[in-house]
């Protein structure tokens, strides 16, 4: 970890400041350093520092500032800087060399002027980034296609674009003793519980780490039960989903250099919902949501259910179906559990390969590879056709889960249920499901029950049940979820003129 050092005050002698900055940024060839002469009589030395690709000198606001200062006398330049009359509204002044260095690393220009005891940060284009693009991991049929980018400031602006209220607050924190990563906590002042904000800040300052390069690092270090396969922070790449969460009284954590926002607190039901659940009619949204609940169950249990059925409890199958299963397995040299594990690992490998390969090639490998491997394995009598069908259907179910991190938990637990079912049949599978259910019942996200509103529905007067397995018409969902303050739960009023806020 970086040690705390005594800070060096900026000197009115320019040469001393240059020496300190040169020492601080030695062997940094990407940082440009220029000595210039300003003033009407060309008697005011100054020193500029900026990161090469972060500043476009041809279009920089710096050019206008320097042109303005060249027409002033020495006393007028010092007076203009002291009064912040340089014509740059977002100029920031630093009193120490270390603060000036941190300001330089934000991607802006740092200006030192001889005789002036402060460094001036002049905002400019900043670091290059990918810009606003479409969210790849959360496709929707209806709704905005905008996605978050790598700039925390642009991401905060995308949220403000959707909630144009002064009650939307953005609190800035810095994480990482060396990376100094900028983190924004975004929320609506009168909806969020103050205790929630305090708890989030406590967790973010409860550790010290060299660098935070993505919001996933903060997620893992701030989780209450780090050993749980289920995520306790919800992730999203969609600004509309983040804005929707803020309107529910939740907090959105934005990290610089990451297009993934964290929504907290969260629960099981939030992972199954999608943005377009609220843009489509309630019948369509309810059908889709119930389908996703069923998919999340079968993504974890279907292979284990098949093994328990064929190995231990064949008596519950119709005779014709049992004979069909037996006929399909003729010539297969492996036990059923080995068949299932081989195919599951093959599909997981194809999924991983599809993610790592470039765009169109990855999609092709995922589809064609699955067909070829499945067909070849059946023809070689390595697996039976019914196993290919079961594993393929299980993969489809996992793809139907909207959140990738949430789907991963079911994919991991699926292997545990496969082993338990192969060992103890239905008893093993039910024991595994009971253990998972007990774990979920004990899991909380910032004091919110993970199984809300399956449990604790009375905490919000059963209002959350209007928007869970089913989604009632929008006109019937008049209350905010449990995340919001109790006195601010009403969000929809008919027959009255609602005030702005």
pLDDT of residue 301: 95
Q: Of 234, 266, 298, which closes a domain?
A: 266
Share of the chain above pLDDT 70, in %: 91
pLDDT of residue 318: 84
pLDDT of residue 357: 72
106 and 174 share one domain: no
pLDDT of residue 31: 87
pLDDT of residue 373: 76
Q: Of 209, 240, 266, which closes a domain?
A: 266
Estimate to the nearest angstrom the gap between the alpha carbon of 244 and the chain centroid. Answer: 15
Provide the domain limits for residue 298. Answer: 284-449
In order of 191, 323, 488, the CA distances from 457 in angstroms are: 20, 47, 18
Low-confidence residues of the chain: pLDDT under 70? 1-5, 54-61, 85-89, 125-126, 128-131, 358-368, 371, 496-501
108 and 169 share one domain: no
pLDDT of residue 363: 63
304 and 223 share one domain: no
d(CA 221, CA 395): 30
In a domain, 376, yes or no: yes
Instruction: State whether the Cα torsion 58-60-64-65 is positive or negative.
Output: negative
In a domain, 50, yes or no: yes
161 and 109 share one domain: no
d(CA 412, CA 406): 10
pLDDT of residue 359: 64
351 and 332 share one domain: yes
In a domain, 128, yes or no: no
CB 428 within 8 A of CB 420: yes
Estimate to the nearest angstrom the gap between the alpha carbon of 134 and the chain centroid. Answer: 15
pLDDT of residue 315: 83
- Tokens 């800040």, residue? 201
423 and 315 share one domain: yes
Instruction: State whether the Cα torsion 328-331-336-338 is positive or negative.
Output: negative
Estimate to the nearest angstrom the gap between the alpha carbon of 375 and the chain centroid. Answer: 38
CB 245 within 8 A of CB 252: yes
pLDDT of residue 1: 40
436 and 338 share one domain: yes
258 and 316 share one domain: no
In a domain, 464, yes or no: no
- Which token pair is 298? 């079968």
146 and 223 share one domain: yes
In a domain, 194, yes or no: yes
Q: Which of 451, 443, 468, 452 is nearest to 229 (CA)?
A: 443
∠ CA(207), CA(212), CA(218), 5° rounding?
60
246 and 312 share one domain: no
Helix (H), strand (E) at residue 341:
helix 336-356
∠ CA(285), CA(291), CA(294), 5° rounding?
145
Q: Of 266, 301, 317, which closes a domain?
A: 266
65 and 145 share one domain: no
Helix (H), strand (E) at residue 93:
strand 92-94
CB 168 within 8 A of CB 501: no
pLDDT of residue 297: 95
300 and 257 share one domain: no
Helix (H), strand (E) at residue 94:
strand 92-94
In a domain, 57, yes or no: yes
In a domain, 489, yes or no: no
d(CA 488, CA 167): 13
Strands ordered across the beta sheet of 168-175: 168-175, 181-188, 251-255, 261-264, 234-236
Domain count, the chain: 3
In a domain, 409, yes or no: yes
């Amino acid at each position: 970890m970086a040690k705390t050092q005594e800070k060096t005050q900026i000197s009115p002698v320019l040469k001393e400041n240059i020496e300190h900055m040169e020492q601080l940024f030695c062997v940094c060839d990407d940082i440009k350093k220029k000595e210039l002469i300003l003033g009407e009589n060309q008697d005011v030395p100054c020193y500029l520092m900026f990161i090469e690709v972060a500043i476009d000198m041809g279009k920089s606001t710096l050019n206008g500032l320097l042109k303005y200062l060249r027409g002033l006398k020495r006393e007028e330049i010092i007076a203009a800087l002291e009064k912040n009359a340089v014509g740059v509204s977002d100029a920031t002044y630093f009193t120490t060399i270390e603060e000036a260095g941190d300001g330089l690393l934000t991607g802006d220009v740092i200006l030192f002027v001889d005789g002036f005891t402060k460094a001036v940060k002049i905002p400019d284009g900043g670091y290059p980034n990918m810009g606003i693009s479409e969210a790849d991991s959360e496709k929707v049929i209806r709704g905005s296609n905008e996605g978050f980018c790598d700039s925390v400031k642009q991401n905060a602006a995308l949220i403000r674009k959707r909630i144009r209220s002064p009650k939307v607050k953005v609190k800035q924190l810095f994480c990482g003793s060396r990376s100094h990563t900028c983190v924004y906590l975004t929320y609506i002042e009168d909806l969020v519980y103050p205790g929630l904000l305090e708890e989030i800040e406590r967790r973010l300052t409860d550790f010290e780490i060299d660098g935070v390069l993505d919001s996933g690092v903060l997620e893992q270090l701030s989780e209450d039960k780090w050993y749980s396969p289920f995520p306790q922070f919800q992730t999203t790449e969609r600004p509309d989903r983040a804005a929707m969460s803020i309107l529910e009284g939740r907090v959105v954590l934005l990290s610089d250099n990451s297009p993934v926002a964290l929504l907290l607190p969260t629960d099981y039901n939030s992972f199954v919902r999608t943005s377009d659940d609220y843009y489509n009619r309630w019948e369509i949204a309810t059908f889709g949501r119930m389908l996703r609940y069923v998919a999340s169950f079968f993504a974890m249990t279907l292979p284990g259910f098949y093994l328990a059925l064929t190995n231990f409890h064949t008596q519950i199958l119709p005779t014709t179906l049992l004979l069909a299963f037996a006929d399909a397995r003729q010539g297969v040299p492996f036990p059923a559990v080995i068949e299932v594990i081989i195919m599951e690992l093959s599909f997981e490998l194809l999924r991983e390969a599809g993610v790592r390969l470039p765009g169109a090639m990855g999609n092709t490998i995922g589809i064609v590879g699955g067909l070829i491997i499945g067909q070849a394995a059946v023809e070689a009598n390595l697996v039976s056709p019914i196993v290919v069908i079961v594993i393929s259907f299980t993969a489809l179910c996992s793809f139907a889960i909207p959140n990738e991190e949430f789907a991963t938990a079911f994919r991991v637990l699926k292997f545990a249920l496969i082993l338990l079912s192969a060992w103890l049949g239905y008893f093993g599978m039910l024991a595994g499901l009971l253990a998972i259910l007990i774990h979920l019942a004990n899991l909380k996200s910032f004091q919110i029950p993970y199984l809300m509103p399956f449990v604790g529905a009375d905490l919000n007067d059963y209002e959350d049940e209007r928007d869970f397995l089913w989604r009632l018409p929008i006109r019937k969902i008049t209350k905010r979820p449990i995340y919001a303050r109790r006195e601010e739960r009403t969000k929809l009023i008919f027959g009255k003129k609602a005030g702005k806020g």
